[in-house]
Amino acid sequence: MGNPFDLTGQTAIVTGANTGIGQGIAVALARAGAAVAAVGRSSMAETQRLVEDAGAPFLEIRADLGTLEPVERIVAETLAWRGRIDTLVNNAGIIRRADALDFTEQDWDDVMNVNLKSVFFLSQAVARHMVSREGGGRIVNIASLLSFQGGIRIPSYTASKSGLAGLTRLLACEWAGKGINVNAIAPGYFVTNNTEALRQDAVRSEQILARIPAGRWGDPSDIGGAAVFLASPAAAYVHGIVLPVDGGWLAR
């Protein structure tokens, strides 16, 4: 038996790949052998350099997943480039912070559109391709600790990530029989743009670190192994899980 984590010859789409967790996942998939179509709103020059340094082909797709406009284009451009899609990583996400009493409809809709609505319809578009070629595939959603907990001052983010956990399970139930594995990763507290406000708040940062058994914030590179696992043959019988990668946060 060959290396069960080998992704050589496969093609992966990673959304939100310009920085942070998305970049860490893109690089890990590239190192495992996958070609990477990176989707993002801004320059992905650094991600491209890292992926190509790993010896993998790279495609940049500029897209704002705040609307459904780019969904079919993302699939079409990837298929024109490589002729197949083996893995979709739904990582793109945004956050808005305000007390629930003051939260606006705009902040609710903006977060839900990116974190949940676009995830479903991009997954649907990719799954249609996977079913049509009868080759199956992998969909990996990036959930959150807020898929399990409530949090504070992030109502639409918590709702979207709780919804994403449920959507992961539903799609797993519907698509497992079609050869598509749908799973999710729930990152803990990572050094990303979304957590910058927390890291700059000395009190909150200290409180968070005090609860993490690993004693540190996660680095985007820490998430790559979980993504490679769920995208690989090693996870062939894994369906509908939400895998925490959190330094032990939920265990405490």
- DSSP assignment of 171-215 equals HHHHHGGGTEEEEEEEE-SBSSGGGHHHHH-HHHHHHHHHH-TT-
Radius of gyration of the chain (CA): 17
Bridging pattern class, strands 11-15 and 242-245? unpaired
State the pLDDT at residue 164.
98
The answer to whether residue 189 is catalytic is no
pLDDT string in tens for the chain (252-residue length): 589 999 999 999 999 999 999 999 999 999 999 999 999 999 999 999 999 999 999 999 999 999 999 999 999 999 999 999 999 999 999 999 999 999 999 999 999 999 999 999 999 999 999 999 989 999 999 999 999 999 999 999 999 999 999 999 999 999 999 999 999 999 999 998 878 888 999 998 999 999 999 999 999 999 999 999 999 999 999 999 999 999 999 999
Locate the domains of the chain by residue range. 11-242
To the question of pTM greater than 0.75 for the whole model, the response is yes
- Cα 91–95–100 angle (5° rounding)? 140
Q: Which two tokens stand for residue 93?
A: 């996400």
State the pLDDT at residue 1.
56
State the pLDDT at residue 194.
79
State the pLDDT at residue 198.
87
For domain 11-242, give the fold. Answer: Rossmann fold (3.40.50)
Cα 88 from chain centroid? 8
Alpha-carbon dihedral 126, 131, 134, 135, rounded to 10 degrees: 30
Select which of 157, 189, 229, 249 is catalytic. 157
